[in-house]
């Protein structure tokens, strides 16, 4: 601890350690950081690595990278200039992106958001980035009124590529803009930019299996390329060290058990090179954390594949058509939230950047219409349960909330005030409840369904307590608690191979749940009784069970209702819908990769297309739910250190 304190003392002078950051006033972010005692190279690197958002963001970056062995490395970053569509065309492309991913899985095009490449990646030193941004701004200003509008795009498909190509004559005009930017960058920022010489296009899909072509082509033909669009010149950068690495996102927290292991924080990104994996043990990989710059071993099943552009840094966007005072106030918030799935504060740098919420409109535009009390087609909604107690507080969580007499004691605000049936028969080691935040997540989903005028006619859930509690809180949000009854269906339990031990959990019976004030249908007779479930079932058996019980549920509900909600497990979103759409099973490995990507309260909609029983995944009527991690805070360990 003392060693780290010495490092902090070198970075932050004593006079500023004793004062609040906000008390320092200076002309620019760089001046403020320099006045705080940060060395100039580090201050510049922090500002560039955070897109110049604020002094606070740069300070946070520096403190989190205090042990980064490359903190003082003078390596430049790699930059790229793209054209980004906005408005109605962007909505169409976002819809295609989502549907193609749902229908055919991820292909190479999903690694980067929809764009037209104007130049190759080029390097720029940290102290030249501000000048580079000014070059882009001035070049766009010179081109206002000259940029071709509308931009003619034509669909092209081949066996492994689908894209929208710019008309050649118009493409030459865009290339001239890129050349003008390159000239300006060379003159003012001393940066060499190589304009893109190949055909200009928006890539829709590539490097996909041949049998996916018909589905992808059908979706691509649905894009109305003549829709209105404001094109924006956007500048992004990436860490040059990880240009050829795989990008992964941390899903679960991990505390190192050995010195050669990496701490994992959900939401962080990991860069992984295939070259570094040769000597790792099975189940472990070697990677570098984006948030700290540290490299070490980490458990492979704690991370999942992410898109390459998720870790890119945004440096500015300029419209060729619009400039107004209202556009200067909300710079990059909408852009990065929508496109890079990042939580970033407003950019306070100067410029005439338009409101980037135009780049990707909220998905409400694509939602199922809520103007009717009932949707015209039958819809199956499948939802994962909320945040689990054993995941948040560890597998020994019971010891944290039990006193010497075995009574339940709440020891954290995220633990529920009480747990049903605590004093009676219970198997909480294998059947953990959800947290307070898990309940909140579920109510938010219910409230969103209510707001979208979505009618739920039947609710089925897995017998796991976490699923029952989630379903109950969704009903609260829907204002249907007590009006709709939960049907507990053991056939919806997750793949039993994932259950530890030699037996299934001892679930709380429906009658006892009802006695604990859960809105449970005690007259419901399960389609798959508990005694029909077997431990360590095969993958094929689990998928067959899930498919059959889903079909039976839909058949039973058809005469009296349109919409069915299933609240179960992460695997249920795939297992209950894939074969329903007539799609063949994935391999076990691919199935597990899909399941890893489904968060708490992950939600999907599968709609009946005809009376013949054809079903298809469609846009859900509600927005996705994203939230960040919040670790245990002990003021004694943090604030009472001498």
How far is the C-alpha of 196 from the C-alpha of 174, rounded, in Å? 10
Is residue 384 annotated as part of the catalytic site, yes or no? yes
Give the Cα separation of 169 and 190 in Å (integer). Answer: 30
Structure tokens at 610: 């005809």
Question: Cβ(488)–Cβ(463) under 8 Å?
Answer: yes
Annotated catalytic residue 569 = yes
Is residue 24 exposed (0-12), middle (13-18) or buried (19+ Cβ within 10 Å)?
middle
Nearest to 526 by CA among 567, 487, 469, 577: 487
Residue 227, C-beta contacts closer than 8 angstroms, at least 6 positions apart? 87, 88, 89, 92
CA 160 distance to own-chain centroid: 27
Catalytic one among 115, 196, 318, 385?
385
> How many CB atoms within 10 Å of residue 516?
16
Q: Determine the Cα–Cα distance for residues 488 and 141; give it in Å rounded to an integer.
A: 62
Phi (first) and psi of residue 353, to 5 degrees: -60, 135
The response to whether 466 counts as a known ligand-binding position is yes
Can you say whether the dihedral through the CA atoms of 110, 112, 113, 114 is positive or negative? Answer: negative
Beta strand 303-305 pairing with 615-618: unpaired
Helical segments of 197-318, H only: 213-221
Q: Specify burial of residue 246 (Cβ count, 10 A radius: 0-12, 13-18, 19+).
A: middle
3-state secondary structure of 379: strand
Q: How far is the C-alpha of 102 from the C-alpha of 89, rounded, in Å?
A: 20
- Active-site pick, 65, 115, 344, 384: 384
The two three-digit tokens of residue 141, written as one number: 């200003």
CA distances to 129, 137, 206, 455, 639 from 308, in Å? 22, 26, 15, 38, 38
Of 490, 497, 485, 462, residue with least CA distance to 384:
462
Given a contact cutoff of 8 angstroms between Cβ atoms, the answer to whether 288 and 294 are in contact is yes
Query: Is 101 noted as a catalytic residue in this protein?
Result: no
For the chain, give the number of residues: 642
Instruction: Count H helices and E strands in the chain, helices first.
Output: 19, 19
**102, burial (CB in 10 Å: exposed 0-12, middle 13-18, buried 19+):** middle
Tokens matching residue 17:
């350690």
Hey, which residues are catalytic here?
384-385, 569
Numbered residues of the known binding site: 466
- The binding site for substrate comprises 466
């Amino acid at each position: 601890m003392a060693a780290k304190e010495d490092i902090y003392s070198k970075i932050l002078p004593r006079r500023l350690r004793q004062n609040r950051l906000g008390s320092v006033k200076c002309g620019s972010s760089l001046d403020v950081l320099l006045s705080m005692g940060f060395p100039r190279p580090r201050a510049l690197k922090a500002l560039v690595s955070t897109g110049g958002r604020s002094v606070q963001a740069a300070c946070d970056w520096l403190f989190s990278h205090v042990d980064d062995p490359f903190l003082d490395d003078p390596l430049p970053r790699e930059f790229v200039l793209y054209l980004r569509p906005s408005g109605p065309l962007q909505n169409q492309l976002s819809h295609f992106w989502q549907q193609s991913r749902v229908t055919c899985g991820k292909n190479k095009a999903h690694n980067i958001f929809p764009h037209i490449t104007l130049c190759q990646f080029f390097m720029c030193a940290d102290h030249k980035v501000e000048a580079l941004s000014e070059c882009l701004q001035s070049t766009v200003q010179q081109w206002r009124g000259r940029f071709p509008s509308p931009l003619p795009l034509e669909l092209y498909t081949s066996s492994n590529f689908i894209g929208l190509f710019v008309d050649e004559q118009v493409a030459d005009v865009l290339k001239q803009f890129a050349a003008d930017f390159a000239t300006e960058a060379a003159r003012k920022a001393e940066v060499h930019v190589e304009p893109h010489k190949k055909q200009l296009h928006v890539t829709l899909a590539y490097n996909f299996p041949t049998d996916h072509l018909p589905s992808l082509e059908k979706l691509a033909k649905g894009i109305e390329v003549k829709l209105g669009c404001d094109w924006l010149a956007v500048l992004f950068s990436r860490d040059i060290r990880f240009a050829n690495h795989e990008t992964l996102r941390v899903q679960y927290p991990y505390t190192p058990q050995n010195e050669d292991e990496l701490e994992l924080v959900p939401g962080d990104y990991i860069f992984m090179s295939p070259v570094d994996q040769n000597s790792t043990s099975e189940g472990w990989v070697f990677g570098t954390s984006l948030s700290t710059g540290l490299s070490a071993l980490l458990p492979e099943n704690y991370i999942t594949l992410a898109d390459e552009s998720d870790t890119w840094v945004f440096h500015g966007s300029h419209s060729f058509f619009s400039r107004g005072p209202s556009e200067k106030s909300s710079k990059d918030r909408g852009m990065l939230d929508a496109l890079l799935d990042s939580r970033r504060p407003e950019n306070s740098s100067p410029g005439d950047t338009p409101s980037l919420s135009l780049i990707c409109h909220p998905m409400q535009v694509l939602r199922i219409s809520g103007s009717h009390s009932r949707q015209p087609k039958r819809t199956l909604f499948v939802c994962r349960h909320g945040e689990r107690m054993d995941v948040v507080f560890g597998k020994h969580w019971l010891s944290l909330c039990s006193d010497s007499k075995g009574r339940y004691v709440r020891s954290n605000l995220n633990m529920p005030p009480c747990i049903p049936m605590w004093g009676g028969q219970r198997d909480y080691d294998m059947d953990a409840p959800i947290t307070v935040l898990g309940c909140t997540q579920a109510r938010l989903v219910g409230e969103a369904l209510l707001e979208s005028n979505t009618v739920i006619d039947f609710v089925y859930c897995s017998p796991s307590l976490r699923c029952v509690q989630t379903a109950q809180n969704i009903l609260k949000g829907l204002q249907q608690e007590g009006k709709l009854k939960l049907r507990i269906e053991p056939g919806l339990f997750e793949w039993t191979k994932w259950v530890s031990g030699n037996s299934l959990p001892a679930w709380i019976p429906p009658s006892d749940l009802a006695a604990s004030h859960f809105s449970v249908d005690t007259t419901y007779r399960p389609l798959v009784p508990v005694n029909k479930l077997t431990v360590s079932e095969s993958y094929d058996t689990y998928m067959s069970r899930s498919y059959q019980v889903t079909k039976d549920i839909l058949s039973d509900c058809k005469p009296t209702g349109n919409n069915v909600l299933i609240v179960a497990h992460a695997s249920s979103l795939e297992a209950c819908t894939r074969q329903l759409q007539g799609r063949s099973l994935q391999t076990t490995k691919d199935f597990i990769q899909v399941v890893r990507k489904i968060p708490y309260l992950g939600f999907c909609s599968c709609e009946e297309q005809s009376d013949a029983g054809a079903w298809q995944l469609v846009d859900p009527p509600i927005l996705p739910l994203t939230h960040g991690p919040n670790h245990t805070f002990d003021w004694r360990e943090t604030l009472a250190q001498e």
